[in-house]
Structure 1
Amino acid sequence: MEWVADARLAAWPEAAWYLEAVFTPGSQVGTAYDAPTTPVVVTRVEEVTSLRVPSGRLVVDAPWDDDDASRYERGQPTRPPRELAVRIPAGVHRVEVAWTAGPYEFMGEQFDGVEVAATRLRISDEPVVGWEMGLGVGEDVARLEPGDATGFGADANVGCFADAAAWTALSAPFRTFVGGSPVPRDTECLPGWCEKVRDESQQADLVTFAVELGGIVWLGRSRTGDVAAIVVTSGLADAKA
């Protein structure tokens, strides 16, 4: 039986189009900042690393927020991360970023407009036939109406994919603050302004990505309903026309 999206979770047409276009090199996905005649074009899709998720439970959230960091510094309990309700196959999955370019001028200075427009966790190579919002654990689809959106927030414009079972260890480097300011963290720097944390004791990883204040977690479903991809954009696909 072919999968059919729940109307309360299904991507609206503009978002569905963007989620497909942003991972298709050569596609125009918008116009440059303050230059409506200059197209923003997908230049390439780059695999930046792999992500180990041995538990099959995935967090897609900010690795920290301001309130959480403050509680952590004071030795108080921190909030739980936003773990997706859907489970993915345990194992190693590819992390890819979509690069776009749209040159523009601002206050007399020229900018190349190169940005990461979206980040994708590839679960399988099955074609995606539809997109829906990914609910977090404990979130109730019955409370959503068609057109409502649900997602996560990111104070510092940083989100992440991480194995939920190893979250405490994986997120620890992002929770070290002195006097309210972050101290340098021991992470691996990757293309696309991503960072990676490895926990060898649990064979699990966390990978950060750029995101504007958070966003919707999009699940790309195959014909059979299996999750083939998980995508977070940098904002464009989350704004309704």
Structure 2
Amino acid sequence: MMNENIVQIENREAMSPEASGMSALATLLGVFAKPRAALIALSARPRILAPILVLLVSQVALGLVLAQSGILRNDTVAKLEAKNAPPEQIEAVTKVMEGPAKYAFVIGGPVVLVFSLLVTAGLLYFIANLMLGARLRYIHYLCIAAYGGVVGIVDQLVRTGIALGRGTLLVNLGIGAFMGDELSGLMRVADTATDPLLLWATAIEALGVSVMARKSFGFGVLAVAPGYLLLVSLSALQR
């Protein structure tokens, strides 16, 4: 019954003008301006190289900015001081953070990015295909995760800009923005979950699943919800 209602993406979408007429650059811009049209095009021809390259470049650039700014050192020292660490330990950590070690964040960022994309795509495949009955290939979900990540760059840019101005990576963009800097663990989760820019990127992923699987937007929301909750929890724990 459900299988009879499922439309094969390769056969149906490949015939649409949008699917055959959008270049990689057009889809990267379109995911912001006309996300549905861009995702329809991508359903016929999933692209992963272009968005992943954009993500890698952005991660390296933002990592270099943060490494040069000294924010990572400041936050690390602040955490040690909060734990009443001895001055000798704080001084040793400061020297390490002022040396080449600070660029480990720059190198680690792209590695974590690629790993997270693969995991996100795998989770989407499991939820949407195996549990909800969609019939998409893994590359479709990897494409969805990558383009969702491209939209998520906006969130990273805003956070980095605010962090540079405040001198700390502890930036609250959700409900926590109205509750001061000191948040409990539960409130950190709530703050991350209500970040409008993160919700935007997640909505793009949900739209991607619904468009490519030829389902309702609610179907896409169900598919991305577990991954979103996992991301929110991990992000809150890192703060």
Work out which of the two has the higher radius of gyration on C-alpha atoms and give 1 or 2. Answer: 2
| Structure with greater helix percent | 2
Normalising by structure 2, report the TM-score.
0.25
- Whose relative contact order is higher, 1 or 2, with alpha carbons under 8 Å and at least 6 apart? 1
| Structure with greater strand percent | 1
Normalising by structure 1, report the TM-score.
0.25
